[in-house]
Structure 1
């Protein structure tokens, strides 16, 4: 993001009372070196037959969404009666990690905090207790709550009527207040002062956000490491449950290990430049695991998962056996890939001490062995997505069964 040319999408209902603000704000933002994007000024470019989607696409292309909430709901979405077009812009900005600056009419936000917030939170909590999940939309909860007050002719119902605010706005204010890091209130009628206030807010928010932007790579890497550590810790707990009285429950161990070998897609290297990359082949989740252990000149079957007819043994010098080849290569730090064109099956093998494991995966298409070999590194990388977990499992297995 470049602060000097920040793209700022101005979102609000099209009510007449907001038009002077929108017009003045466009001038103020341009004078400050920003690029405002506003529907009424043709900033969406070439329109399609779906102007609502045009707006959402521009939200995705923006750096900041400034949202004004007053007393009018605006147009509701044709495809979803629980949200308005403005609300769709708001949610789209949040889902695409845009900076969202909501500004709510002062008396509306104060009314919500003083009279609606706790009531609405209780109603949502009641919904969760009844349905065991959060409501997908807040508006139906608001309508039900307001209907209860109307039927009961409560004091709150009279106060809400006197506020002159359309029902949907209470849902919008609630979601804005709970989903964003900040929600400002301002008397929107004070257009010049509000423009000055917004420029100050933008300067502060963008300046603070740039600190994170400059360290985005480092922050992202740390988050990924945190996610990996969480998965690893969870897997260690699961694998340790496979031990009972110092004996490893192999069927349970294999079943647990297979959970960390999920299906993956392989993409062409050039697909990174495509908007919607299409996989060239899919690798299934791990379908079977077999374990063999050397005894004399034989590699004897020990146990398996997902296969009913495992081979009982292989001669250690059997050149046609993937298991024997793996044992003789003596590459304990690496995994080997083999492929059966007839079965359309990938076999990933691993040696640990006197043990050899074979993991079976289906390919979604019938590739040649030559093509599989050309994508060997990509396939191995996809299968070994949970490397730390896999290595821990191999250390545990080797420590329990070798010797």
Structure 2
């Protein structure tokens, strides 16, 4: 099913620009795109209309900006306008931006404003060690102190914020195409050229889309893993875990629930059941013929030890057979997953909810383990960390 590009068209709602916006909308629709214009398809509107506009910018793939002499709505208290806030949102969201600037306005900016504005902006940064809060403050200094009476008169009908807006667009490294309303077709042609160029660049990545997606997920998981390892290491002091309950609470946080699939890892994988996030954990260590409790989290009255001859204990079986075990308690509706590391056995407790019984757990053992070890990056670190600690049970 086609997934049309959403293209946000931003400008002051100026009567000179209305035909341009409308014509571009038709051209984009005919090309299979989905143009976003506030006068056409922003409904339903929120009470705060600006929130709706910014949400539409977030939804878009491409942002087209038209700037002319009309500032449109200007909020004096915020020193901003709706169009400018849309532009800033597009920048923050790293949208692909195509900008057009009225040809006459562009010439006036270059001839009258630009040099002094750039110089004063640079001087402000050097003096205060930061950028100005509002570029319009610097623009007003330029108009009042640097321009001749004739120059001020020539641009007196243009709101100073327009010059600030142009500066901020340029400062972001965005090229501004010239816009002449009498030659609107040329502007439309230029938009098509930009979109064609974007398509050409994008096509290069189509064969790599799966790898790009997987790499993005890997970066996200690595960031989570980095935070996870740093947090757990904070609970160690001279090779010993100082607070087992808090340590294990952090240890199971990434162990979220999910789907259990039949034929997991194949093209025929099909969701069969679900399991919930790990909610509790115990750790045992072999000592003097027993598996003794080292620590626990969220377990009421955990067993303090198991005899190594207790064949009914999943902990014991995991240790003696040197294997991971999956067990189930009908009474507690809990699934137990054990992991052996050296002299230790870690036991993870997963609530299973309705629809599970011992027979089903037995039938889905392979699939359950496949689903649980999806978080092996975290459980492996947790197991290795516990396996290397100093602890006398």
**1:216 is matched with which residue: 198, 209, 212?**
209
Q: Deviations over 1:126-181 (max 9, x none)?
A: 7989xxxxxxxx9xx3288469959x9644899899475546556755665567x7
Q: Where in structure 2 are the equivalents of 1:132-147 lying within 5 Å? A: 141-142=133-134, 145=137
How far the C-alpha of 1:298 sits from its partner, in A, is 1.3
Query: Are 1:370 and 2:363 an aligned pair?
Result: no
In structure 1, the partner of 2:382 is: 393
Q: Where in structure 2 are the equivalents of 1:61-72 lying within 5 Å? A: 63-72=61-70
In structure 1, the partner of 2:9 is: 10
Cα 1:317–1:236, aligned 2, differ >3 Å: closer, same or farther?
same
The aligned length equals 365
SS in 1 for 2:134: helix
Q: Distance in 2 between matches of 1:321 and 1:175?
A: 68
For structure 2, list consecutive stretches of 5 or more residues without a partner in the other structure: 262-273
Q: Distance in 2 between matches of 1:120 and 1:208?
A: 35
Contact 1:339–1:369 (CA<8 Å) still a contact in 2?
Answer: no
The Cα RMSD (Å) is: 5.5
Q: Distance in 2 between matches of 1:238 and 1:74?
A: 51
Contact 1:8–1:62 (CA<8 Å) still a contact in 2?
Answer: yes
How far the C-alpha of 1:15 sits from its partner, in A, is 0.8
SS in 2 for 1:17: coil
Query: Are 1:119 and 2:113 an aligned pair?
Result: no
In structure 1, the partner of 2:250 is: 259
Cα 1:144–1:107, aligned 2, differ >3 Å: closer, same or farther?
closer
Contact 1:337–1:380 (CA<8 Å) still a contact in 2?
Answer: no
Q: Distance in 1 between matches of 2:156 and 2:120?
A: 18
Cα 1:221–1:58, aligned 2, differ >3 Å: closer, same or farther?
same
Q: Distance in 2 between matches of 1:383 and 1:112?
A: 61
Cα 1:25–1:295, aligned 2, differ >3 Å: closer, same or farther?
closer
> Which stretch has the larger CA shift, 387-396 or 92-101?
92-101
In structure 2, the partner of 1:290 is: 282
Q: Distance in 1 between matches of 2:159 and 2:376?
A: 54
- Scaled by the length of structure 1, what TM-score is found? 0.63
In structure 2, the partner of 1:356 is: 345
Contact 1:10–1:66 (CA<8 Å) still a contact in 2?
Answer: yes
Q: Distance in 2 between matches of 1:20 and 1:116?
A: 34
SS in 2 for 1:283: coil
SS in 2 for 1:225: helix
**1:250 is matched with which residue: 241, 248, 255?**
241
SS in 2 for 1:323: helix
Cα 1:229–1:9, aligned 2, differ >3 Å: closer, same or farther?
closer
- Scaled by the length of structure 2, what TM-score is found? 0.64
Q: Where in structure 2 are the equivalents of 1:199-214 lying within 5 Å? A: 199-214=192-207
Contact 1:109–1:185 (CA<8 Å) still a contact in 2?
Answer: no
For structure 1, list consecutive stretches of 5 or more residues without a partner in the other structure: 130-137, 270-279
Q: Deviations over 1:76-113 (max 9, x none)?
A: 79xx9786554565566667775332334435875568
How far the C-alpha of 1:311 sits from its partner, in A, is 3.6
How far the C-alpha of 1:183 sits from its partner, in A, is 3.8
How far the C-alpha of 1:68 sits from its partner, in A, is 1.4
Query: Are 1:197 and 2:184 an aligned pair?
Result: no
SS in 2 for 1:13: coil
Cα 1:260–1:113, aligned 2, differ >3 Å: closer, same or farther?
farther
